[in-house]
Structure 1
Amino acid sequence: MQRRYDLDWVRVCAFGVLVLYHVGMYYVTWDWHVKSLHASHALEPFMVLTAPWRLSLLFLVSGAATAFMFSRIHTRPDAGGSRLRLLGTRSWTLLVPLVFGMVVVVTPQSYYEVVEQLPGGYHHGYLTFWGQYLSGYEGFCDADGCLRVPTWNHLWFVAYLWVYTVVIWLLWCLAPRPLQALGRGVEHALSGLGALVWPALLLALLRVTLSARFESTHALVDDWYNHAQYFAVFLLGFLLARADRFWDALAHLRWPALVLWLASWAGIIVYFVSYAEAEPPSALRMAMRAVWGLNQWCAIAAVLGFARHWNPGNNRALRYLVPAVFPVYILHQTIIVVAAHNLQPLGIPPLAEGPLLVAITFALAVLGYEGIRRVAWLRPLFGLKVGGVATPALPATRGNT
């Protein structure tokens, strides 16, 4: 098997886009931990350019990576014991950083959120807040409700990824033949034009039927619309990881997918602007939910299709970036929140402050990674192996192409 460098590049770039998106959250009117005094609607159309599909793409690539990781077990003589060790290793890689992140890394996000948004402000120091945070203090409340602490904030992705991995692992162990049969059926359906049509219809259906009933919470236990869409694409990536017909179809359909993605994005923006202060007709609202699902899959298909077509290879930059992704992901949002809050007194114009905030985030996150990978006891706290050279926090993505 040759390494799928195209998926490595997709994963790295997708996490890079995530950093830019979270910097953008500081400048738009949507609710977030801290807000710029100059927050406006100006960036919101560009945020919507990636909002429907960015995380779904990451779950799909993670599903494919999980399939390649699992497939290596079949070649070992002690497959049963290897399966248990695999789940244990995967749980260690994901859950240790999740717990450490909730206790240490994301706490400043909640602190500055309370400082900026609590009525009357918060006048105690960080250590006092940290003690209240760890004790589950319920008094951080405003008109919109109370802040629940401790929290995983942006690390919800790690929790969801672990749960989906466990579900797939159980299916893989207890029902391997039905899982294989499902994979063959999905591969047959998603060859040719079906690679673009059927996933788009599924995501549109999920959006139409579930999004109004289940608000996006990222709280795991009550987040059913997100589970439906994210587990669907995770399973899709797992089932089709080595289905060449599917990947080749995406490469062939990359231009139609790109056109449909941008056209549906433009339609969504026109819809939001037209009904910013008015109630849309019910039929139109349902139609635009379907358009959202179309946008979601066409963007993913375009990204994966162009990556497959270009087939970018290995180089020093990729070898550095692949293991850096997970630590940078864990650190980046806290860096954004802390830096943004502390830049406010300087009064820097947003057009200058935004790029500066992006540069600070990437620089400090990479600097943090450089320190983490050199300290043995820090490495597992950020998803890296204790010894040896840095390795990817998510499984290597390998395939037969």
Structure 2
Amino acid sequence: MQRRHDLDWVRVCAFGLLVLYHVGMYYVTWDWHVKSPGASHALEPFMMLSSPWRLSLLFLVSGCATAFLLGKARRAADAPGGRMRFLGSRSWRLLVPLVFGMLVIVPPQSYYEVVEQLPGGYHEGYLAFYARYLTGHDGFCDADGCLDVPTWNHLWFVAYLWVYTVALWLLWKLVPRGINAAERQLGRWLSGIGVLAGPVLFLGVARVLMIGRFEQTHALVDDWYNHVQYFGVFLLGFLIARTDGVWDAIERQRWPALVAWLLSWAGLVAYFAHFADAAPPDWARMGMRLAWGLNQWCAIVAVLGFARHWRPADNRALRYLVPAVFPVYILHQTVTVVVAHHLKPLAIPPTVEGPLLVAITFAACFAGYEVIRRVGWLRPLFGLKRAGEVPSRSPEPLAWSER
């Protein structure tokens, strides 16, 4: 099986888009850890271009990668402990960075959030804050509630990915025939126009039925709407990973998907603009939720379809970026929050400050990666293999990086 360089590029670009999105969060009116004095609605329509689907795309690609990784584990299953080694490896590569991130990388985000948003400010310094952070202090409160610490903030994706991987591993271990039957059935259902209609219906109905009942918390235990959509697309990615007919259909439907994505985006922007100061009627709210599901899946099909059509080749840049993705992801939001807070007193116009913040975030994160990959004890803390381990030469795309 040929390595899916198109999926490698999709994953790299999706995480790059995530960096841009989080910089954008500083300048829009939506709630975030720190806010620009010039925050406004101006950037919000452009944020909506990726807001409905960027994380679903990452979970779907991760599901595909997990299918190939489990394929390797299946071939090694006859060896003693072959199946358990897969789960142990994934847990090591995801949970160690998650715990390290919560203890070291994420706390500055919460600190500057408290400094900027706590009524009266916070003046005791970072070390005093960090001591309270580690002990689960519940006194960082404002009119919107109290800050829960310790927290994983943007690293919630890693926690969810580990839970979904464990759930999938259990399904693969307990009902392998059911998994194989589901792969074959989906291959038939999604080989034509169903590749658009089926997932759109699932995501749209899930939003209609659940978004009003379950808040999106990223707290794992009470985040039921997010679990339905994200585990749904993660499982879908796993089931279609090796089904060529589905990928052929995705490639054929790339243009209709692109048109539907952009039209639904325009509809969502118009909806939020029209009802900015008034409660929408129920029919409009339900229509918006269905349009959200349409936008969510059609954007993913467009991205995957054009990536497959272009069939990008392997090159030096890709071989550098694939292992860099996870460390850069772990670092990026903290860099953005810290730099944005310290740029604020300079009163730089947002049109200048925004691109500068993007450039500094990428530069600092890749500089950090250059250090991380050269220091043996840092590598596992950021999801990289220990120094000296031989990179996998498997042609399959990998969940994060095997280099």
Alpha-carbon displacement from aligned partner over 1:327-364 (angstroms, at most 9, x marks no partner): 00000000000000000111111000000000000000
Contact 1:323 1:390 in 2 (8 A): no
Alpha-carbon displacement from aligned partner over 1:276-322 (angstroms, at most 9, x marks no partner): 00111111110110000000000000000000100101000000000
Looking at structure 1, the residues matched to 77 and 101 of structure 2 have their Cα atoms a distance apart, in angstroms, of 37
Aligned runs of 1:252-263 on 2, under 5 Å? 252-263=252-263
Q: CA RMSD in A?
A: 1.3
**1:380 maps to amino acid:** P
**2:83 maps to amino acid:** R
Alpha-carbon spacing, 1:390–1:370, altered in 2? closer, same or farther (3 Å) = farther
Which residue does the alignment assign to 1:241? 241
Which residue does the alignment assign to 2:194? 194
Looking at structure 1, the residues matched to 45 and 390 of structure 2 have their Cα atoms a distance apart, in angstroms, of 38
Looking at structure 1, the residues matched to 388 and 365 of structure 2 have their Cα atoms a distance apart, in angstroms, of 21
Looking at structure 2, the residues matched to 287 and 80 of structure 1 have their Cα atoms a distance apart, in angstroms, of 53
Looking at structure 2, the residues matched to 311 and 246 of structure 1 have their Cα atoms a distance apart, in angstroms, of 16
Which residue does the alignment assign to 1:45? 45
SS in 2 for 1:100: helix
Which residue does the alignment assign to 2:401? none
Aligned runs of 1:4-43 on 2, under 5 Å? 4-43=4-43
Match status 1:349 vs 2:349:
yes
SS in 2 for 1:3: coil
Contact 1:96 1:380 in 2 (8 A): yes
Contact 1:384 1:390 in 2 (8 A): no
Looking at structure 1, the residues matched to 2 and 82 of structure 2 have their Cα atoms a distance apart, in angstroms, of 22
**2:250 maps to amino acid:** L
Looking at structure 1, the residues matched to 54 and 32 of structure 2 have their Cα atoms a distance apart, in angstroms, of 18
Looking at structure 1, the residues matched to 221 and 391 of structure 2 have their Cα atoms a distance apart, in angstroms, of 31
Aligned runs of 1:79-118 on 2, under 5 Å? 79=79, 81-118=81-118
Which residue does the alignment assign to 1:364? 364
- Displacement after TM superposition at 1:74 (Å): 2.6
- Displacement after TM superposition at 1:82 (Å): 1.0
Contact 1:255 1:302 in 2 (8 A): yes
Alpha-carbon displacement from aligned partner over 1:234-272 (angstroms, at most 9, x marks no partner): 000000001111111111110000000000000000010
- Displacement after TM superposition at 1:80 (Å): 5.8
Which residue does the alignment assign to 1:317? 317
Looking at structure 1, the residues matched to 364 and 390 of structure 2 have their Cα atoms a distance apart, in angstroms, of 18
SS in 2 for 1:397: coil
Contact 2:101 2:155 in 1 (8 A): yes
Looking at structure 1, the residues matched to 214 and 345 of structure 2 have their Cα atoms a distance apart, in angstroms, of 39
Which residue does the alignment assign to 2:141? 141
**1:370 maps to amino acid:** E
- Displacement after TM superposition at 1:78 (Å): 2.6
Aligned runs of 1:301-316 on 2, under 5 Å? 301-316=301-316
Q: How many residues align?
A: 396
Contact 1:257 1:302 in 2 (8 A): yes
Contact 2:119 2:142 in 1 (8 A): yes
TM-score (norm 2): 0.97
Alpha-carbon spacing, 1:391–1:267, altered in 2? closer, same or farther (3 Å) = farther
Which residue does the alignment assign to 1:70? 70
Alpha-carbon spacing, 1:311–1:230, altered in 2? closer, same or farther (3 Å) = same
**1:24 maps to amino acid:** G
Looking at structure 1, the residues matched to 139 and 171 of structure 2 have their Cα atoms a distance apart, in angstroms, of 42
Contact 1:323 1:391 in 2 (8 A): no
Percent identity reads: 71
Looking at structure 1, the residues matched to 163 and 6 of structure 2 have their Cα atoms a distance apart, in angstroms, of 26
